[in-house]
A and B are shown apart, each in its own frame.
Chain A
């Protein structure tokens, strides 16, 4: 298990170094998007229309934070279940150059194949550690779809956001491997 400190934009070279179980501290820019924003992203790609954010080399965090108290950039901000984004993810990786996602829970075979083919990575943040993660978010601004409320696309500036590599670009899956190691049959 290795430890890394990384910032977007990520390159294929950096992604190749990452292996399942590696602990990564992310700093810099991370974009948020959940189901509703993903649906709109894909509609734009299919219609060939202009995209609201440049995702090339970027990281998407599957999160819908609680409203910020006055003076705070954001409220609690833990990950949501990633599999709901599975139908949309391969297209964002292949046609928009998305390099990393942060969420929780396992991904579809199609997503895992896209990670291998296009050298991208899937990180897990700790589900339900919303308050802890909130402290690592220094700035939050809506960059698209304000009408979606908690599901709007935010540009977050994070500092040392702790994540774990769950699916690397070599076909590794920590959910499968971790479980195999501890199952008692």
Chain B
């Protein structure tokens, strides 16, 4: 058994909160630079340059990239040979977010009840998903998910007959409906298969693990290219003001499903796509 203490977890999560909110993910920066080579709309280009400038200012002044520093979502990969010591694992993750958000002047964006909307005051609770894996690894993936883009995400239970065409149509329609609201250019996660609750998790995980593409199937990569192409024909463009860059990337994640089902979930992320990973 390998031991990981809650003190370590709290500090690691707090540090990650700061990092993802203030420093533009290098992968996303590359995608914006690539998009600039193809964008023909003058207002679109202006915006892409301003996003790069924004990232520079954020980094230098230790300001968050965006004022919506999100609700924190954690995906844990916990090896079954790891023993958590010194407290409760989920309490430690929450404490990490509490400390990280306060220390770095990040915005508290969580209310206690959907109807009686009083701010919890510390950006908790964190939404936590855990997968037990082999060995003694312990990975924490953390995402700061903004409300504007999350509000435009969608799930649909398709029938098997609707097939791949049905999936493509639903993804493109979801992005089209979202228009300027989720702050394009977007990073889009698509979860296909599983069931009613798994498809959205697959979609979000696709974004979180976008840096780990090695094991991806060729068919999924091909679908990603097709979807990106179709989405960028919509003309929405940076900030919805017209242009070729509506999305910077599409990431697909598939899973087995019931013989009667074809669930598909689209998770939309803004251009900042704030997420990171730590290995403890």
Tell me if A124 counts as interface (CB < 8 A to partner B).
yes
Chain B nearest CB from A66 CB (Å) reads 4
Interface residues of B in 229-256 (CB under 8 A from A): 233-237, 239-244
Interface bin, chain A: 35 or more
Asked if A66 and B272 sit within 8 Å, CB to CB, the answer is no
Tell me if B54 counts as interface (CB < 8 A to partner A).
yes
- Compute how far the CA of A5 lies from the CA of B206 in the bound complex, rounded to whole angstroms: 44
The stretch that binds A, out of B5-13, B57-65, B163-171, B190-198, is B57-65
Chain B nearest CB from A71 CB (Å) reads 11
Asked if A76 and B67 sit within 8 Å, CB to CB, the answer is yes
Taking CB as reference atom, which chain A residue is nearest B233?
Answer: A184
Which residues of chain B have C-beta atoms less than 8 A from A179's C-beta? Answer: 179, 234-237, 240, 242
Which residues of chain B have C-beta atoms less than 8 A from A132's C-beta? Answer: 50, 53-54, 57
Q: A76-B67, A77-B67, A181-B235 are in contact. Are A21 and B271 (CB under 8 A)?
A: no
Tell me if B119 counts as interface (CB < 8 A to partner A).
yes
Chain A nearest CB from B101 CB (Å) reads 9
Question: 1/0 per residue B92-129: CB within 8 Å of A?
Answer: 00000000000001111100000001010100000000
Asked if A131 and B63 sit within 8 Å, CB to CB, the answer is yes
Which residues of chain A have C-beta atoms less than 8 A from B181's C-beta? Answer: 81, 83, 104-106
Taking CB as reference atom, which chain A residue is nearest B184?
Answer: A127
Interface residues of B in 176-203 (CB under 8 A from A): 179-181, 183
Chain A nearest CB from B275 CB (Å) reads 15
- Compute how far the CA of A65 lies from the CA of B67 in the bound complex, rounded to whole angstroms: 5
Tell me if B43 counts as interface (CB < 8 A to partner A).
yes
Taking CB as reference atom, which chain B residue is nearest A151?
Answer: B119
- Compute how far the CA of A179 lies from the CA of B243 in the bound complex, rounded to whole angstroms: 7
Interface bin, chain B: 35 or more
Asked if B241 and A128 sit within 8 Å, CB to CB, the answer is no
Tell me if B270 counts as interface (CB < 8 A to partner A).
yes
Interface residues of A in 97-128 (CB under 8 A from B): 104-106, 124, 126-128
Taking CB as reference atom, which chain A residue is nearest B117?
Answer: A36
Q: A76-B66, A131-B54, A164-B43 are in contact. Are A66 and B242 (CB under 8 A)?
A: no
Chain B nearest CB from A86 CB (Å) reads 12
Asked if B106 and A128 sit within 8 Å, CB to CB, the answer is no
Asked if A104 and B180 sit within 8 Å, CB to CB, the answer is yes
Chain A nearest CB from B100 CB (Å) reads 13
Among B107, B239, B244, find the residue whose CB has the most chain A CB atoms closer than 10 A: B239
- Compute how far the CA of A162 lies from the CA of B105 in the bound complex, rounded to whole angstroms: 24
Which residues of chain B have C-beta atoms less than 8 A from A16's C-beta? Answer: none
Which residues of chain B have C-beta atoms less than 8 A from A126's C-beta? Answer: 47, 50-51, 54, 239
Tell me if A28 counts as interface (CB < 8 A to partner B).
no
Chain A nearest CB from B237 CB (Å) reads 6
Q: A36-B117, A129-B51, A131-B63 are in contact. Are A76 and B58 (CB under 8 A)?
A: yes
Asked if B119 and A182 sit within 8 Å, CB to CB, the answer is no
Chain B nearest CB from A156 CB (Å) reads 13
Asked if B239 and A104 sit within 8 Å, CB to CB, the answer is yes
Tell me if B80 counts as interface (CB < 8 A to partner A).
no
Asked if A68 and B57 sit within 8 Å, CB to CB, the answer is no
Chain B interface residues (CB < 8 Å from chain A): 40-41, 43, 47, 50-51, 53-55, 57-58, 61-69, 105-109, 117, 119, 121, 147-148, 151, 179-181, 183, 233-237, 239-244, 270-272
Q: Can you list the 6 inter-chain pairs with the closest CB atoms, starting with the nearest?
A: A178-B242, A183-B235, A182-B235, A131-B58, A127-B183, A105-B181
